[in-house]
Amino acid sequence: MANVPSDQEALDAIREELANIKVPGAEQATADQTWADLDVDSLDLVEVVKALEDRYDVQIADGRLKSIATVGDAAGLVQELTREKEGATA
């Protein structure tokens, strides 16, 4: 399970990707913040999702986007998908 990020690692990864698209306050983003809180719109989210897919070599289906309303949701999804991937290759 070495490749499944911890809560903190997943949060840090999302903060980094938000910073890459110049979201103000990205470095201090918290798990309970919504995208609206961070002024991240649907176009920004497409960029963040692609970056996370590339970073963890996972695929986030379009249908899953609706379920990630907060930074914490996105971190949880990344953990879930990386865990599934580890399971599949174990």
Interface pattern 5-44 for other proteins (x via CB under 8 A) = ----------------xxxx--------------x---x-
46 binds other proteins (CB under 8 A): yes
Nearer to other proteins, 13 or 26 (CB): 26
Q: Which of 39, 41, 54, 57 is catalytic?
A: 41
How far apart CA 69 and CA 32 sit, in angstroms, is 9
List 70's β-bridge partners, or say none: 34
Token output for 4: 């499944």
Token output for 22: 């110049």
